[in-house]
Structure 1
Amino acid sequence: MTSTSTTIDSALRGHAGRLAMAGFWLATRTLMVVLLVVNLQGTSSVRVEITQTYNNWYNVLVTGTMPHGDVMWQYPPAAAAIFLSPDLLPFFSYFEAFVALTVICDALITVGLVRAARRADGSLAGAVLWLTTLPLMLSLPFARYDLQVTLLAVGSLLCLRFRRKLGGVLAGVGALVKVWPLLTLIGTPRGRTTRDAVLSAVAAGAVLLAVLALFFRDTLGFLDNQGNRGIQVESLGGSALMFGKLVGAWSGTSEVRYGAYEYVGPYVSSVALISVGLTVVGFAWLLLWRVKARRWTTATPLDAALCAILVFTITSRVLSPQYLMWLVGLVAVCLTCKHTTQRPVAWLIVAATAVTTAIYPLTYVSEILAGTGLGTFLLVLRNGLLGWAAVLSCVRLWRASVSPVPVPETGSGSGSGTSSGAGASAAPAPQAGSGVPARV
């Protein structure tokens, strides 16, 4: 993929290349919006989140209270700002304004990825991946608020290198919108960078929470609904139960709970506990990596953020299709840096994104909910790809920053046949300002 990235960069760096990227963005995003607006098969089930769920929440939020009475409300309080944001475009309907603002967020992410490629170690591969992979999800990205959250996470990672306090602020705000953007700080270099970013995130989160508490009642009511979630059909645990049902080893069923299809029946609570346990194990590993890591490059914070979100995603009891937007955004940020270790992971995420679209909305009712052989195959394949990506991401991150770097043999005198550095690739530059030298 390195040679591919080099070819992409050389082809797109010029004026013609930038115009081609802008034209591709305009064409694909127009098609995505058209798919959302026109009444195609599966479109109505995709856009119902905006036209009904989000719109209903808006009607409650304008009264100054959080919609805690709705079991589907499972989001931190700052999510209210997203659902109220269509008021910024009062000349549109709620649906039109929400979609327009979401398209703007997509454009901002694209511009940020292109600008990051201008850095000395930058690459346009990240922007190209975002441009080409997001449309694989058809109209879904513009019908969920996850694109706004992804913008905060991507912005945080892109700012951390030179504006670490701003990066921390964006992560803190993102945490109050959908929690996971706070994990973008897990790979910040030790010392002042981590201190500034974390303190900024905490301060921003505290101030924002205080402001929300002034304007809304019951800002923390979402915690009860979130804690009661079970095993969603699309999750890793759900695919195991679906396979068990297919082969006759499990007799449960699925039903709508907390706004999604979840499994009910024997062993479901045990599978949920296993999922939580795997999440704890995964984050224990991430903390161990943080303690053990000795080498930081300019790509390490980006790679660690992707790794953390992959661990969170694959072990979650809820693995909704829109979660793939997070992964596509984060792997795109990784690919903006030539020193990233996550290139093989990128291919797995792209493949998982394509399979996710086959699952939802294309075959969700006819195959997934019906538990057919094809539906089971698609779900196991998608979750298998994500599991593979998570393990590979962890392994490559550990090897790049923790495992000892083998010292190449150096010959002295004639007949050794080995010169110093022969056959060894140059180590990437250490993260500026990290205070941690690269080991070579």
Structure 2
Amino acid sequence: MAGARATRIPYGLLAAWCLTRLLLLLFVFKMVVFPGPDVTSDVSGIYQGWYHTLRDGTFPLSDVAWQYPPAAALPILSPALLPFLDYASAFFVLVCLADLCVLALLHYAGRRPGQSPRGAWVWTLGVPLLGPTVYARYDVMVTAVAVAALVAGLRRPRLLGALAAFGALLKVWPVLLLVGTTKRKPWGAAAVTAVAITLVFTMTMPGAFAFMTAQRDRGTEVESLGALVFHVARHFGWEGEVLLNYGSVEFVGPYVGVVSTAALMLTVLAFGWLLLWRLRARRFAPHTLADAAFVAVLLFTVTSRVISPQYLVWLIGLAAVCLVCRDSRMPLPTVLLLAAAFLTVLEFPLWFANVVASDALGIALLFARNGLLLAATAVAAIRLWRDTVPHATPAPEPGQAPPPRTEQLIQPS
């Protein structure tokens, strides 16, 4: 009985989760109208259309909005598990259940010796800051896989690798969970899992990897960091326009290709920094796995041509896992991220028309939100480096004893 009580989610945490998720469900079921454009149209329109195509045994190759790895078919098809509900209702319920699974995982991890309940609270309070959009995309499901991978990582490295590979075949970014691991087991398990899933989709459904070229001709999405150039330029005679392009609202026109290429180069530089960090890092504590994954996804997000609101769901999930560890260096970046999440729901969907129009309010919101994300990325990267890369010590003077060696913490994975 004592063990059961120890694993039970505290009443305060559970009540906060239930109240905030009830509000999100009221919004997506349209019992309460959330201001701004209808964020559920992707589910009732795009996802449901893909569902019918996928059920016929092929990927929706004729739809330019399909830009996802093959395992993305699974969350799109998942409403079939609840045949007594219509497609959209079943999807919202399943996302809510995935949300609850994340809470349970974070609470379980936070109950371990030396861990903290902060992570469960970050998830509980951070997700609703994004508004109903969070339940109208499948990113919560992907985040649940990523959280499960990191929670399992220290004790079951092969499970970490398998879940990271599965997550990567859902939406690519979970492959970054492996950045902070020090052993070969997760990488081996990831390779085996990726090959197995890939073979299944390749043999059963044509066009499984068409997504790899689907984004080649995309522009710069209006909420991204690079888009700020064009939001300002529109006030100085720039002749481009805003279009619904490849499933998102993007800038199209002169110099957009240049800015998109610059974003790609920044992503390459970010991964170059990660590689340098990985080569220089020597101190790997248990919290390093989650901290490194958080930094890697932050770098991927801020340098992307697209910063959709649902991207912040990934970051909130990873930040929550970081804060499960008492020794994590990511509390300040997490606070900055939560502030960015609140500004995100203001720019989409509340005042998205202002963003599209590039008026003063829209530009101010984007500068503030993207500035907070940049600040969170810079602070997180600096803290990860200082926590894991030993400082160079000057050579001892002749006749002076060398400084004592510091013990390195090696992550048990």
Alignment of 1:193-342 (within 5 A): 194-246=183-235, 248=236, 250-342=238-330
Deviations 1:109-158 (A, max 9, x none): 00000111122221011111110111111211111000011111111111
| Distance change >3 Å, CA 429–CA 351, structure 1 → 2 | farther
Letter in 1 for 2:346: A
| Distance change >3 Å, CA 22–CA 371, structure 1 → 2 | same
SS in structure 2 of the partner of residue 241 of structure 1: helix
Count of aligned pairs: 397
Paired with 1:203 and 1:233, the residues of 2 have a C-alpha distance of: 38
How far off is 1:228 after superposition? 2.2
Paired with 1:274 and 1:19, the residues of 2 have a C-alpha distance of: 49
| Distance change >3 Å, CA 307–CA 16, structure 1 → 2 | closer
Q: 1:36 aligns with which of 28, 40, 43?
A: 28
Paired with 1:37 and 1:242, the residues of 2 have a C-alpha distance of: 33
| Distance change >3 Å, CA 400–CA 344, structure 1 → 2 | same
Kindly indicate whether the alpha-carbon contact (under 8 Å) linking 2:284 and 2:411 is maintained by their aligned counterparts in 1. Answer: no
1:153 equivalent in structure 2: 146
Kindly indicate whether the alpha-carbon contact (under 8 Å) linking 2:75 and 2:138 is maintained by their aligned counterparts in 1. Answer: yes
Q: 2:383 aligns with which of 396, 407, 417?
A: 396
SS in structure 2 of the partner of residue 169 of structure 1: helix
Stretch moving more, 134-143 or 39-48: 39-48
Paired with 1:19 and 1:428, the residues of 2 have a C-alpha distance of: 41
1:414 equivalent in structure 2: none
| Distance change >3 Å, CA 432–CA 294, structure 1 → 2 | closer
Paired with 1:169 and 1:405, the residues of 2 have a C-alpha distance of: 37
2:400 equivalent in structure 1: none
Alignment of 1:2-401 (within 5 A): 18-38=10-30, 40-42=33-35, 45-189=38-182, 194-246=183-235, 248=236, 250-365=238-353, 367-401=354-388
Letter in 2 for 1:254: V
Paired with 1:386 and 1:406, the residues of 2 have a C-alpha distance of: 33
Stretch moving more, 375-384 or 13-22: 13-22
How far off is 1:406 after superposition? 8.3
Deviations 1:52-103 (A, max 9, x none): 0000000100111100110000000100011011111111111111111100
Deviations 1:266-317 (A, max 9, x none): 2111101110000000000000000000001111111000000000000001
Paired with 1:356 and 1:308, the residues of 2 have a C-alpha distance of: 21
In structure 1, stretches of 5+ residues that fail to align are 1-12, 408-426, 435-440
Kindly indicate whether the alpha-carbon contact (under 8 Å) linking 1:359 and 1:368 is maintained by their aligned counterparts in 2. Answer: yes
Letter in 2 for 1:219: A
Letter in 2 for 1:336: V
| Same amino acid, percent of matched pairs | 39
Paired with 1:372 and 1:296, the residues of 2 have a C-alpha distance of: 47
Kindly indicate whether the alpha-carbon contact (under 8 Å) linking 2:9 and 2:104 is maintained by their aligned counterparts in 1. Answer: no
| Distance change >3 Å, CA 204–CA 343, structure 1 → 2 | same
| Distance change >3 Å, CA 175–CA 31, structure 1 → 2 | same
How far off is 1:227 after superposition? 2.2
How far off is 1:185 after superposition? 0.5
CA RMSD, 1 decimal = 2.0
Letter in 2 for 1:131: T
Letter in 1 for 2:14: A
Deviations 1:328-371 (A, max 9, x none): 00000000001101111011100000000000000002x11111
How far off is 1:217 after superposition? 1.3
Paired with 1:53 and 1:44, the residues of 2 have a C-alpha distance of: 16
Paired with 2:391 and 2:411, the residues of 1 have a C-alpha distance of: 21
| Distance change >3 Å, CA 110–CA 405, structure 1 → 2 | farther
Paired with 1:166 and 1:297, the residues of 2 have a C-alpha distance of: 19
| Distance change >3 Å, CA 234–CA 47, structure 1 → 2 | same
How far off is 1:229 after superposition? 1.8
Instruction: List structure 1 runs of 4+ shifted beyond 4 angstroms.
Output: 13-17, 41-44
| Distance change >3 Å, CA 17–CA 161, structure 1 → 2 | closer
| Distance change >3 Å, CA 269–CA 16, structure 1 → 2 | closer
Q: TM-score, normalised by structure 1?
A: 0.87
1:9 equivalent in structure 2: none
How far off is 1:405 after superposition? 8.3
| Distance change >3 Å, CA 138–CA 266, structure 1 → 2 | same
Stretch moving more, 224-233 or 147-156: 224-233
Kindly indicate whether the alpha-carbon contact (under 8 Å) linking 1:298 and 1:429 is maintained by their aligned counterparts in 2. Answer: no
